[in-house]
Structure 1
Amino acid sequence: MKIISMQIAALVVFLSSVNANEFCRSYVDQYTRFRSECSVGSFVLNSCCDLQPFQAPSGMYRIRKTQFDTADVYCDMNTTDGGWMVIQRNRINSTTDFSRNYTEYEQGFGNLSGDFWYGLEALHCFTQRGVWEMRIDYQLATGVTSFLHYNTFSVNIAATRYLLAAVGFTGIGTNFLSTSHGRRFSTADNDNDASTENCARIGSSGWWYNNCGIVNLNSQPPRVQQAASFVEMKIRPRNCA
């Protein structure tokens, strides 16, 4: 009974946590495998999936990007069992400017608690470690909500212009990313699309274009074949669920 009471008390503390360090401290006395990470003042995850056994809330956490580097991410712990790392969020009339150059899309921009693009180089670093899946949640301008799911998602190295792999489609609706799979990333100042036009210049944002105008989650408003009021891209290791 005493053990159960301690767990309930810890859970109360945990549910009020707003960041990874508080989450970590609330569990350090019960889960010894966290001790070494917490002892340096920050709880470093391998992915957002590490939070699943503890009913962690959605929010900002620090995860391991490479063997020697970490990165702050936003973990979605509510959608389909949680464990998702949000890599893009764009809303109609967003205050975040997605009309950026190639270097900015490489490095990432925006605010993780608002609208943002996480960065191509970081996406490559994450997705080269194992097999990752992707989910895209969106709301059309009409108010209809839906999602797309891809069983395999990866971003290749910079030398390939961050070639996209998005295969194994499931979800509600059309496979909008079928035209983006196998494409290189383009911006207005670095045109790598299959069109005779500069699609990034026309769409005023970077994307894995094939031809112009079909899908561009970074445009304003975002387009999922038609105008959307909200889009959010998120990824997690395939074995997460």
Structure 2
Amino acid sequence: MFRFVYIILLYNILSFRIGYGLKQNDDTTGTMCDCNCDVQIDIVKNFMKDLADVRKCKDKITNIETQLLRNRAAKPSSCIEAAASSLKNGVYEIQIKNLNVTDVEVFCEESVDFGGWLVIQRRQSGSVDFKRDWHDYKEGFGNITENYWIGLDTLHALTNNCEQELYIQMKRRNGQEYYAKYSKFLIGNEVEIYALKKLGDYSGNAGDSLRKHLGMKFSTYDRDNENAESNCAAEFEGAWWFNSCYHR
């Protein structure tokens, strides 16, 4: 579109200048040669200038098109981008810039709270043992479409890539459902022992139970970092940001 418009404008400019030169030739026959030469030189100069401007615009348009193609070819960096065209639950590939990784498989949840949620943990049956050591929780484990944990390194990279929310969904055996939503969610790196550094505003019907664990370091049965005499991860057979376990 831009190229076409510039070509039409250039044609009109040249037509005007050539017509103006011919009119001058009819009015001043005595100096026809000098006037024609001057007009022709001016036309050539202006033509070259306009041609250079068109080429500059063409280069700018080409650069914009190239950048758009690069952005289109790049993998999405969130579930909001990855599932935008389908709006369906499922496994998608995203890139995590903080890890310099471009082919991370994640499960995107589109049926909860307007969708766009990346599932970091799913524990819905006893088919996968969640009483795991520090290494397993650091790297991640399980089946991404069933019971699994995404891994602390990946979770840290995701929460530090841009501002994130946290949505916790719980369902009792009788079918009753509860949820807790936090407007911000951030965890530290391995040096910081993946501490729970930030929680935003709470909303939901499950209660603001995670708030008491804010600031706590992550604990597994073999890396006890909580404020309790007992080993909460061993007692409850699962790792977490424990502060005196869940209810003490």
How far the C-alpha of 1:153 sits from its partner, in A, is 0.4
Please tell me whether residue 61 in structure 1 is matched to residue 95 in structure 2: no
For 1:190, the equivalent position in structure 2 comes to 223
For 1:206, the equivalent position in structure 2 comes to 239
Greater than 3 Å deviation, 4+ residue runs: 32-39
Please tell me whether residue 180 in structure 1 is matched to residue 213 in structure 2: yes
For 1:81, the equivalent position in structure 2 comes to 114
Identity of aligned pairs, percent? Answer: 29
CA–CA separation in structure 2 for the residues paired with 1:105 and 1:113:
17
Is the contact made by 2:83 and 2:108 (CA closer than 8 Å) also made in structure 1?
no
Is the contact made by 1:167 and 1:181 (CA closer than 8 Å) also made in structure 2?
no
Is the contact made by 1:135 and 1:147 (CA closer than 8 Å) also made in structure 2?
yes
Q: Which structure carries more helix by proportion?
A: 2
TM-score for both structures, normalised by structure 2: 0.67
For 1:233, the equivalent position in structure 2 comes to none
Residue 196 of structure 1 aligns with an amino acid whose one-letter code is E
Is the contact made by 1:52 and 1:83 (CA closer than 8 Å) also made in structure 2?
yes
SS at match of 1:91: coil
For 2:156, the equivalent position in structure 1 comes to 124
Task: Identify if the C-alpha distance between structure 1 residues 34 and 103 changes in structure 2 by more than 3 Å, giving closer, same or farther.
Answer: farther
Deviations 1:145-202 (A, max 9, x none): 0111000001111111101132311111311111222111001110000111111111
Is the contact made by 1:149 and 1:169 (CA closer than 8 Å) also made in structure 2?
yes
Residue 93 of structure 2 aligns with an amino acid whose one-letter code is R
For 2:127, the equivalent position in structure 1 comes to 95
Task: Identify if the C-alpha distance between structure 1 residues 79 and 213 changes in structure 2 by more than 3 Å, giving closer, same or farther.
Answer: closer
Residue 152 of structure 2 aligns with an amino acid whose one-letter code is L
Task: Identify if the C-alpha distance between structure 1 residues 196 and 132 changes in structure 2 by more than 3 Å, giving closer, same or farther.
Answer: same
SS at match of 1:201: helix
How far the C-alpha of 1:46 sits from its partner, in A, is 1.2
Residue 56 of structure 1 aligns with an amino acid whose one-letter code is L
CA–CA separation in structure 2 for the residues paired with 1:53 and 1:74:
14
How far the C-alpha of 1:144 sits from its partner, in A, is 1.1
For 1:135, the equivalent position in structure 2 comes to 167
For 2:177, the equivalent position in structure 1 comes to 145
Deviations 1:10-61 (A, max 9, x none): xxxxxxxxxxxxxxxxxxxxxx98854776xxx7211111146424311111
SS at match of 1:45: coil
SS at match of 2:119: strand
Of structures 1 and 2, the one with the larger relative CO (CA 8 A, separation 6+) is: 1
Residue 57 of structure 1 aligns with an amino acid whose one-letter code is K
Match of 2:201 among 168, 171, 174: 168
For 2:79, the equivalent position in structure 1 comes to 48
Match of 1:155 among 176, 183, 187: 187
Gaps of at least 5 residues in structure 1 are 1-31, 216-241
Gaps of at least 5 residues in structure 2 are 1-65
Q: Which structure carries more strand by proportion?
A: 1
Residue 208 of structure 1 aligns with an amino acid whose one-letter code is W
CA–CA separation in structure 2 for the residues paired with 1:128 and 1:38:
24
Residue 185 of structure 1 aligns with an amino acid whose one-letter code is F
SS at match of 1:160: coil
- Structure of higher CA gyration radius: 2
For 2:45, the equivalent position in structure 1 comes to none
CA RMSD of aligned residues (A): 2.2
Deviations 1:56-110 (A, max 9, x none): 3111111111252131101112212211101000014x20110100011010000
Is the contact made by 2:166 and 2:181 (CA closer than 8 Å) also made in structure 1?
yes
